[in-house]
Amino acid sequence: MGGAARCYTASPEETLSGPLRPVIAEQGALTRGLVAIGCVEDAPPPLGGLSPELARLAGQVVESRGWTGKTERQLTVSAGDGAVTVVLYGLGPSRELEHPRVKRWLDRVAGDCAAAEAPELLVVPPVHRVLGTPAGAATLLRQVALLGYAFDEYRKPSRPALRRVRVLPPVRGEGVYRGARKTAAAVARGITLARDLANTPGNRATPAWIAGRARALARRIGARAQVHGPRELARLRMAALLAVGRGSANTPRLVRLEIGTHGPAVALVGKGVTFDSGGISLKPGPAMDEMKYDKAGACAVLGAVQAVAELGLPVRLRAYLPLAENMPGGRAFRPGDVVTTRSGKTVEVLNTDAEGRLILADALTLAVEEGPEALVELSTLTGATVVALGHHGAALYSPDDGLARTLLRAAEDGGERLWRMPLWPEFREEIEGRHADLRNLGGKWGGANTAAAFLAEFMEGCESWAHLDVAGTAWHPGEPGPLFGATGFGVATIVNWLLATLDAG
C-alpha cells in the first residue's frame, strides 16, 4: 500500500513554531508515539496507509474483538517493541459524522497522547464526505495542528510537548489534503494568536497592550494601523467608549487596521473589553476571572486579519477594535448616566454591565461610515446567549439572508457552530429610551436579542451586517486540561466566509 503517490515529507523550513505544522504523512513514517485511527461504524477501519506489519496486527485485533466503530469506543493495539501504539477510535455512523464529533475525537486523542507522553502523533481520518472537501480537509488539518497548543506564558510547560503531528489523507484524498495545508496553517496560526491574546490576563492585557499587539501585527503583515487614545476618542465623539473606560486607570483605545487595496470592502469589528467587572453594576464574585476573556471578539478579529494577510486574500479589509476596561471607581460611569454616542443617538445607561453594546456602538458607527460592502462583528456580548445555546454554538444575527447563509455554511465547514437568532421589532421596542433615545438594557427575557437590537441601531445604512454573540464559545471554562481557556472561535468562520465570498464573486 501507499507508494510514492501518497508520500509527502515536509522540508525543514516548513516546520514552524507555534501551532504544529500539519504535515501530510509518509506511509509507515511513524516510529514512536501514537497512531490514532478514526473509524465509522459502517465502513472497515482505514488501515490501508499503515505499514504492512501494523496493518496486519490491527486487522487481527479488529477481527478477534468484533470491532464496530461505535461512538466513544476505543481499541488499543500495541505494536512490536511498544514504541508505537495504534488506537482505533469509534466515530459512530457516517451519516451522523460532523466536524464537532471529529473535534471531540481529536481532543480525546490529545488527551491520550498526553497520558502516554507520546512525542509524535499520526492521525488517520476515516474516508468521509465531511472530511473529503477542501474546506473539510483544512478544518481537520488545522485542528490536528492545534492539538499541541498550550498557553504556558506564565507557567512551566503544562504537559510534555507533542513534537510532531501528521495526518494520513484518506484514500484518493491526498491532493485535496495537500492543497488544504496552506489555509489550515494560516487559520491555525490566526487561532493561536487569538487564543494567546485572549488568554493573557487583564493585568497585562490592558487596552494599550492589546493596541500594541495590533500595531505589531500590522507591522508584520504590512497593514496600516491607527490607535486612538482618550484625547482622540473625545475628538471622534466616542463618548460611549470613553464612558465605559472611565472607571479604569487603563484608559480605552480604538484600533483601526486596514489592509488590501482590491476586492470587496469588508469590515470586521470585535468587542475588546480587557476585563469586565460589571463596573458600578458589579458582577458577583464567582467566575469573575473569566471576564478577562471579554476581549475575545477583538482577539479573534486580529487572528482573522493575520490569516487573511498570510493567505493574501484580495479583500479591502478594515478592522475596528474598541478596547476598554470596565471597572467601578470614583470616576466610573453610573446607572442613569446619559451618553451621546458618535452616531448622535443618546443612550441611557441602566446597567453598567451592559457595556459591550456601548463600546461597540461607537466602533460600529465608524465602521459603517466608511461604507463597507459587508460588516461582521464578534462579541462576548450576553450571558443570555449562553443560556440559549450553551457552549456548543454562537448566536448569529443578520438582516441579510444571503450573508447569514454564507456565514452558517462557512462556520459549519470550519467546525464552528452558528445558530441564527431573531431581530424582531418587539426587541427594539424594549430598548426605547425614556430620558434618551435608547436604553442599554431590555426586559428580563431574550437578553441576547435585545442586545442585538441595540447594535442594529448603530448599523443603519449598512445593508449587509452580521453580529456574532460568542459569549458561550469564546473560551472553555473549568479546570486545566488541553481544552482550557480561549478557543479563538470565529477566526475559521471569518476566513472561510471570505474564501467563499471571493470564490462566488
Q: Answer yes or no whether residue 377 interacts with Zn ion by CB under 5 A.
A: no
Site string for ligand BES, 303-342 (x = CB under 6 A): ----------------------------------------
Shortest CA distance to 141 belongs to which of 171, 101, 174, 185?
185
- By C-beta, is 162 or 273 nearer to Zn ion? 273
Shortest CA distance to 125 belongs to which of 162, 85, 171?
171
Interface with ligand BES (CB under 6 A), residue total 16
Interface with Zn ion (CB under 5 A), residue total 4
- By C-beta, is 243 or 471 nearer to ligand BES? 471
Site string for ligand BES, 407-446 (x = CB under 6 A): ----------------------------------x-----
Shortest CA distance to 27 belongs to which of 56, 1, 58, 53?
1
Q: Which stretch in 145-153, 178-186, 229-237, 293-301 sits in contact with Zn ion by CB under 5 A?
A: 293-301
DSSP letter string over 438-455?
EES---SS-HHHHHHHHH
What proportions of the chain, in percent to the nearest 5, are helix, strand and coil?
Answer: 40, 20, 40
CA distances from 122 to 14, 23, 27, 342 (A): 18, 10, 10, 53
Q: Are residues 290 and 183 in contact, defined by beta-carbon separation less than 8 angstroms?
A: no
Nearest distance, CB of residue 242 and ligand BES, angstroms = 17
Q: What dihedral do alpha carbons 78, 80, 86, 88 form, nearest 10°?
A: -60
Q: Which stretch in 95-103, 226-234, 377-385, 455-463 sits in contact with ligand BES by CB under 6 A?
A: 377-385
Task: Name which position in 174, 355, 362, 377 contacts ligand BES (CB under 6 A).
Answer: 355
Q: Answer yes or no whether residue 354 interacts with ligand BES by CB under 6 A.
A: yes
Quote the distance between the C-alpha of residue 78 and its chain's center: 36
Binds 46, which of Mn ion, Zn ion, ligand BES, none (CB < 5 to 8 A, cut-off by type)?
Answer: none
Contacting ligand BES within 274-293 (CB under 6 A): 276
Contacting ligand BES within 469-498 (CB under 6 A): 471
Instruction: Determine which one of 182, 283, 316, 334 is catalytic.
Output: 283
Instruction: Determine which one of 189, 246, 357, 428 is catalytic.
Output: 357
In the bound complex, which residue of the shown chain has the CB atom lying closest to ligand BES? Answer: 383
Nearest distance, CB of residue 453 and Mn ion, angstroms = 17
**Helix, coil or strand: residue 283:** coil
Nearest distance, CB of residue 418 and ligand BES, angstroms = 17
Classify residue 72 as left (phi > 0), alpha (psi -120 to 50) or beta.
left
User: Measured between alpha carbons, how far is 437 from 434 in angstroms, rounded to an integer?
Assistant: 7
Classify residue 222 as left (phi > 0), alpha (psi -120 to 50) or beta.
left
Binds 383, which of Zn ion, Mn ion, ligand BES, none (CB < 5 to 8 A, cut-off by type)?
Answer: ligand BES
Task: Name which position in 41, 112, 196, 294 contacts Zn ion (CB under 5 A).
Answer: 294
Instruction: Note the residues at the interface with Zn ion (CB under 5 A).
Output: 273, 276, 294, 356
